[in-house]
Chain A
Amino acid sequence: MATTWVFVEETEEGPATVGLELLTKARAFGGELAALYLGAGSDEHFAALGAHGASKVFHMAPSDLLPTASAAAAIADLAGQHSPDLILFGLTYTDRDIAGRLSARMGKTILSNATEISVDGGAVTVTNEIFGGMTLVDTTFESDAPYLVIARAKAFVAEESGGGAPEVESVAMPDVGHSGSARVTASHAERLEGPKLEEAAIVVAAGRGIGAEEGFAVINELAMKLGAATGATRAIVDAGWVPYSKQVGQTGKTVKPDVYIAAGVSGAMQHLVGMKDSKVIIAIYKDEEAPILGISDLGIVGDLHKVLPKLIEALSNR
């Protein structure tokens, strides 16, 4: 692959982890590797991009406008000048917004939800998972480069390569008129307790089986005891019992903790795809036919309201 670009959004902690994962992956493709960085930027951030393999950074600094339409136009212009072969995005809100608009702007198809990207000469094959991760689908492009791919978080592992500071080129955000007129008027951060869901070594997740919103209390208590993050299925997020930021699954977060404890989670495909690669899976569910029990290292057919209080007590007595 002659040239690969990786879109990386700035987060509060610096370059988004999924962007660093994709830079690491793209190093294996050989050729030129550049980052498309959206954020205020700093020498420290650029150094992190360099350390993960980017020899060049195209830096886009946003205003108070929602940057997606303008960033897509900027990237399309850059692609016109530099003819990259492959442009990678993570499966995050901003990445999806920019990748989607870029795809339509350039008239290029896009492959989403990638868990593997293979490059053979100039050909790119993208793998994604269907049926809750039980089946893999390999898809190729039938158009000319650049090939656009959106990959799932944690599909690859971020590792530094020892690369030095990259060359940084500032890229103007073009005025795209009405398409770019969405404005961010305020930002709100949800108060987070305990470790971050995507990074926690242990995740305790709940589904409909907890019975009611109040049922989440025992999940919180166990998580506190274990220093774990709490997670949830789409069903109880949709029901309004817990915030969306806790959703694990196809439309939520992807997690790969050392231990995933699923309580009252039946294991809908939508959920499994976000957690099935956890190292150890422990599940408690009342119905032995539940799919979650089929992928668990320890599956317990039983009542979580009986098992979890005893577990909390046993952990307290240690």
Chain B
Amino acid sequence: MRVAVCVKQIPDPASPYDLDPETHFVVRPTDQVLDDTDRYGVEIGLQLAEQTEGTVTLISMGPSGNLQGIRQALAMGADKAVIVDDASLQGSDSLATAGVLAAAIKREGFDLVIAGTESTDGYAGILPQQLAELLEVPALTFAKKVAVEGDTVKIERQTQTGYDEVESPSPALVSVTAGAVEPRYPTFKGIMQAKSKPVDTVTAGDLGVDVATKQKIVSIRPAPERASGELIEDDGEAHLKIVALLEQAKVI
């Protein structure tokens, strides 16, 4: 089974990221990390590829920088990566991004596409569905468990009240929730191998895709601040303060 896993390099969430005051786009440093939520998709992709003697190709869009984030996913065991790095795509909306990723995935060929449910930095949360529509495949979304039996893809799909068992024939797209599996840690061997795995850097033109972003940020402003409250150190009696506040709020 040929598995394409969509991954994204993002600024390290541990350090606050900046927005360009002119364009309002996220300023992307050279050393970006693999979006943590993508590790789950990579892990599932690797498991399914191992089970079916298949391959895992990483598909990404954005400034490649030093490829640190992509190498993280290659070190986990993915076979190769395709990254669409094109200055004209900066600030793309999710539909434009989906158009580019769809072109890259079609060029590679696929039986299964895996994506996270949303990125940590942009979090629009609709790219997988847009991608599925453009690839003309079913979208098995919000999966907390994924299995492949022959040509059938089966998932447990998160719902508001529990989960549904959902299945479809391949090719298909699966979006996976964080926590769906325990992502493996790269081994030393994996990290060494990742350095020489193929990373194909392409432009939108190479893919023959022409997309346009149809939304524009008009302002960025601070949210109204919440009135600051009381901060105390627990002296053994802090619970009484809570009781008093619960009484004041008339909930007890």
A310–B238 Cα distance when bound, in Å, is 9
A300 interfacial contact with B, CB 8 Å: yes
Q: Return the contact of A276 from the options B134, B169, B226, B246 (Cβ within 8 A).
A: B226
A110 touches B123 (CB 8 A): no
A202–B222 Cα distance when bound, in Å, is 28
Q: Return the contact of B241 from the options A108, A270, A298 (Cβ within 8 A).
A: A298
- Residues from 145 to 203 in A contacting B, C-beta threshold 8 Å: 150, 177-190, 192, 201-202
Given A110-B95, A226-B252, A314-B243 contact (CB < 8 Å)? yes
Most buried by B among A112, A135, A185, A276: A112
A202–B217 Cα distance when bound, in Å, is 36
B95 touches A104 (CB 8 A): yes
A201–B127 Cα distance when bound, in Å, is 34
Given A202-B251, A301-B233, A318-B252, A110-B136 contact (CB < 8 Å)? no
Given A101-B139, A179-B137, A298-B242, A138-B218 contact (CB < 8 Å)? yes
B17 (CB) vs chain A CBs: closest residue: A131
Q: Return the contact of B117 from the options A69, A251, A284 (Cβ within 8 A).
A: A251
Contact residues in A for B144 (Cβ distance below 8 Å): 244
Contact residues in B for A310 (Cβ distance below 8 Å): 236, 239
A178 touches B219 (CB 8 A): no
Contact residues in A for B133 (Cβ distance below 8 Å): 69, 72, 100-101, 103-105, 179
Contact residues in B for A190 (Cβ distance below 8 Å): 161-163
A82–B245 Cα distance when bound, in Å, is 53
B 213-239 binary contact with A (CB < 8 Å = 1; else 0): 111111111110010111111101011
Interface size class of B (residues with CB under 8 A): 35 or more
B27 interfacial contact with A, CB 8 Å: no
- Residues from 215 to 250 in A contacting B, C-beta threshold 8 Å: 226, 234, 237-240, 244-245, 250
A12 interfacial contact with B, CB 8 Å: yes
A31–B223 Cα distance when bound, in Å, is 30
A312 (CB) vs chain B CBs: closest residue: B239
A189–B164 Cα distance when bound, in Å, is 9
B110 interfacial contact with A, CB 8 Å: no
A134–B220 Cα distance when bound, in Å, is 11
Cβ-Cβ contact count across A and B, 8 Å cutoff: 271
Contact residues in B for A100 (Cβ distance below 8 Å): 126-130, 132-133, 139
A22 interfacial contact with B, CB 8 Å: no
Most buried by B among A177, A276, A302: A302
Contact residues in A for B252 (Cβ distance below 8 Å): 226, 315, 318
A 285-310 binary contact with B (CB < 8 Å = 1; else 0): 00010000111111111110011101
A251 touches B172 (CB 8 A): no
B230 touches A226 (CB 8 A): no
A79 interfacial contact with B, CB 8 Å: no
A314 touches B95 (CB 8 A): no
- Min Cβ gap B64→A in Å is 24
A121 interfacial contact with B, CB 8 Å: no
B9 interfacial contact with A, CB 8 Å: no
A11–B234 Cα distance when bound, in Å, is 44
B167 interfacial contact with A, CB 8 Å: yes
Contact residues in A for B137 (Cβ distance below 8 Å): 178-179
Which B residues lie at the A interface, using CB under 8 A?
Answer: 16, 24, 93-96, 98, 117-118, 120, 123-134, 136-142, 144, 157-169, 172, 177-179, 213-223, 226, 228-234, 236, 238-243, 245-246, 249-252
Which A residues lie at the B interface, using CB under 8 A?
Answer: 11-12, 66, 68-69, 72, 91-93, 96-101, 103-105, 107-113, 125, 129, 131, 133-143, 150, 177-190, 192, 201-202, 226, 234, 237-240, 244-245, 250-251, 258-259, 261, 270, 276, 279-282, 284, 288, 293-303, 306-308, 310-311, 314-315, 318
Closest 4 CB pairs of A and B: A100-B129, A302-B234, A104-B133, A100-B126
- Besides A101-B139, A140-B218, 11 more A-B contacts (Cβ < 8 Å) are A103-B126, A135-B223, A143-B214, A179-B132, A182-B139, A184-B166, A187-B164, A251-B117, A296-B229, A299-B230, A301-B234
Interface pairs (8), CB distance under 8 Å: A100-B130, A104-B98, A136-B221, A141-B215, A279-B249, A284-B238, A297-B230, A302-B233
